[in-house]
């Protein structure tokens, strides 16, 4: 029997708190889950530093990846199966792309990518196409299968319907993470009627459309998304941890460039510092490794590195005030000067963080090229873009919101009356 058609003797299930069970029948999926590149996702948290704000958010990308797979499986096996617009031959491709879509994520990838100028999407591609266990499994399906999977994830695959399952304004990726992140943080946002959304999905040429009767479930999903972004993903305390993390990585890189001699050689970081990371190097990185170094760097000579690592490890984070860059740039300059005078390096200790730097993209039809708008299929077959039907979605669509905060170490500045006054403490 062709490997692509091979089924397990007995269906396997993973117990999942969000989808109850994750079902696997295909041999290839089972084999992919067992690869070391996929298992590595257990060592990378889905929400990076968010666990320092919401202590329940300790779940990994492994969790989420299985969830996205399961949602796509339900769509293709129970909603699309048998419909003429759906090409059954894309089934396994869709499942593999769903499972592997986050494969290239690094530890704390938001800060990590920024500092070392990396892009996890390139690494996802590299893992799928490179000399890896994942590639071996995919190649058993067919010689061009790895490329197809990589193309779906890169959104360049020709059948846009397959792409849209994991990458559109309402895709399996988001449907999983909104629910999963709500579950693990414990917040009451993030709930919507996914079962209904799945039931009203229809393949339609190069996209997935939604029967009009499910519009309210879709609205509810958009609202959940909005609330999750502002309540959870952009939470100012999480951003404080992210600021410190970024500064740790900056400092370490800077020290390396200055020829600083580390007490313990940061072997895992050299290729990062020198911006010549191989795939092999990359795959050795995970959050355990990062935390290992942050811990031992608490004993480094360099005061800045040492202090920032202590703060991160022991959750002694920066405080913040609202900051309006357009109106307050002079104040920032003045504060910088006062910091310097007080012997506190503003490069590391006085940081503006703007949430629009973060991957923020709640529903804006037409604005982003890569994200298709959501289309409703009316009873007469006609398609209508969601915000034309939904007053609520119309009210919020296309509106970018940016939040700027100024972060600083409260304990360092408590002695300076002048600084405290400028910060309005």
Residues that bind a second copy (CB under 8 A): 13-18, 20-21, 34-36, 39, 42-43, 51, 54-56, 58-60, 62-63, 66, 183-189, 191-193, 195-196, 199, 216-217, 219-220, 223, 226-227, 230-231, 264, 267, 284, 286-289, 291-292, 295, 313-316, 391-392, 395-396, 399, 401
Start-end of H helices in 130-214: 133-141, 145-153, 160-166, 172-185, 194-200
Evaluate whether 424 touches 319 at the Cβ level (below 8 Å).
no
Distance set, CA 334 to CA 330, 340, 371, 421 (Å): 6, 10, 42, 12
Nearer to a second copy, 49 or 207 (CB): 49
**Residue 235 burial (CB count, 10 A):** 19
Residue whose C-alpha is closest to residue 323's, from 313, 314, 333, 315? 333
As measured in angstroms, the least distance from the Cβ of 315 to a second copy is 5
Residue closer to a second copy, measured from CB, 60 or 336: 60
Matching residue, tokens 């460039």:
257
Question: In sequence order, which residues have a C-beta less than 8 Å from that of residue 410 and are 6 or more positions away?
Answer: 318, 319, 425
Task: State in angstroms the smallest separation of the CB of 85 from a second copy.
Answer: 16
Closest to a second copy by CB, 284 or 420: 284
CB of 241 to a second copy, least distance (A): 12
Q: Please state the closest distance from residue 286 (CB atom) to a second copy, in A.
A: 8
Closest distance to a second copy from the beta carbon of 84 (Å): 16
Report the SS3 class of residue 35: coil
Q: Give me the phi and psi of 373, to 5 degrees please.
A: -65, 165
What are the C-alpha distances in Å from 94 to residues 215, 282, 364? Answer: 25, 26, 25
Q: Which is nearer to a second copy, 332 or 396 (CB)?
A: 396
Token pair, residue 396, equals 């919020």
Token pair for 120: 């996890």
CB of 14 to a second copy, least distance (A): 6
Output 214 or 373, the one with its CB closest to a second copy: 214
Q: Are strands 383-385 and 319-322 parallel, antiparallel or unpaired?
A: unpaired
Nearer to a second copy, 64 or 160 (CB): 64
Q: Tell me how far, at minimum, the Cβ of 98 lies from a second copy, in Å.
A: 16
Q: How far is the CB of 19 from a second copy (least distance, A)?
A: 9
- 13 vs 333, beta carbon nearer a second copy: 13
Q: From CA 138, how far away is CA 313, in angstroms rounded?
A: 39
Q: Is 366 left (phi over 0), alpha (psi -120 to 50) or beta?
A: left
Closest CA to 170 of 223, 119, 124: 223
The rounded distance, in Å, linking the Cα atoms of 59 and 48 is 9
Find the shortest distance in angstroms from Cβ 333 to a second copy.
26
Compare residues 51 and 86 and give the one whose CB is closer to a second copy: 51
The angle, 0 to 180 degrees and rounded to 10, between the axes of the packed helices 145-153 and 133-141 is: 110
Q: Which is nearer to a second copy, 313 or 333 (CB)?
A: 313
């Amino acid at each position: 029997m062709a490997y692509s058609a091979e089924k397990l003797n007995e269906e396997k299930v993973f117990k999942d708190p969000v989808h109850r069970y994750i079902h696997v029948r295909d041999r290839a999926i089972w084999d992919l889950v067992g690869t070391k590149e996929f298992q590595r996702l257990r060592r990378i948290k889905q929400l990076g530093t968010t666990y320092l704000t919401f202590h329940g958010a300790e779940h990994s990308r492994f969790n989420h990846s299985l969830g996205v797979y399961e949602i796509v499986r339900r769509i293709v096996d129970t909603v699309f199966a048998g419909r003429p617009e759906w090409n059954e031959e894309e089934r396994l491709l869709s499942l593999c792309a769903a499972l592997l879509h986050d494969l290239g994520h690094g530890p704390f990838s938001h800060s990590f990518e920024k500092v070392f100028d990396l892009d996890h999407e390139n690494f996802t591609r590299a893992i799928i196409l490179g000399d890896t266990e994942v590639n071996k499994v995919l190649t058993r399906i067919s010689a061009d299968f790895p490329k197809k999977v990589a193309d779906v994830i890169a959104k360049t695959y020709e059948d846009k319907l397959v792409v849209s399952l994991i990458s559109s304004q309402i895709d399996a990726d988001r449907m999983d993470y909104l629910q999963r992140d709500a579950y693990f943080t414990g917040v009451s946002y993030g709930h919507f009627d996914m079962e209904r959304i799945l039931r009203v999905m229809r393949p339609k040429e190069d996209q997935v459309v939604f029967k009009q009767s499910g519009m309210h479930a879709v609205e509810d999903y958009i609202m959940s998304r909005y609330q999750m972004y502002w309540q959870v993903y952009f939470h100012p305390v999480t951003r404080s941890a992210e600021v410190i993390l970024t500064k740790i990585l900056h400092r370490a890189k800077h020290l390396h460039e200055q020829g600083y001699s580390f007490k313990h050689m940061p072997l895992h970081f050299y290729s990062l510092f020198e911006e010549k990371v191989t795939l092999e190097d990359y795959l050795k990185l995970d959050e355990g490794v990062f935390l290992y170094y942050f811990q031992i760097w608490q004993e480094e000579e360099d005061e800045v590195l040492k202090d920032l690592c202590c703060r991160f490890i022991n959750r002694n984070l920066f405080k913040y005030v609202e900051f309006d860059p357009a109106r307050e740039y002079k104040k920032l300059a003045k504060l910088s000067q006062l910091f310097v005078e007080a012997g506190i390096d503003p490069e590391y200790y006085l940081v503006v963080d703007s949430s629009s730097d973060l991957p923020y993209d709640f529903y804006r039809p037409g604005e982003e090229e890569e994200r298709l708008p959501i289309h409703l299929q009316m009873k007469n077959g006609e398609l209508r873009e969601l915000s034309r039907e939904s007053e609520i979605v119309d009210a919020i669509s296309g509106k970018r919101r940016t939040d700027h905060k100024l972060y600083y170490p409260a304990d360092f500045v408590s002695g300076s009356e002048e600084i405290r006054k400028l910060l309005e403490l």
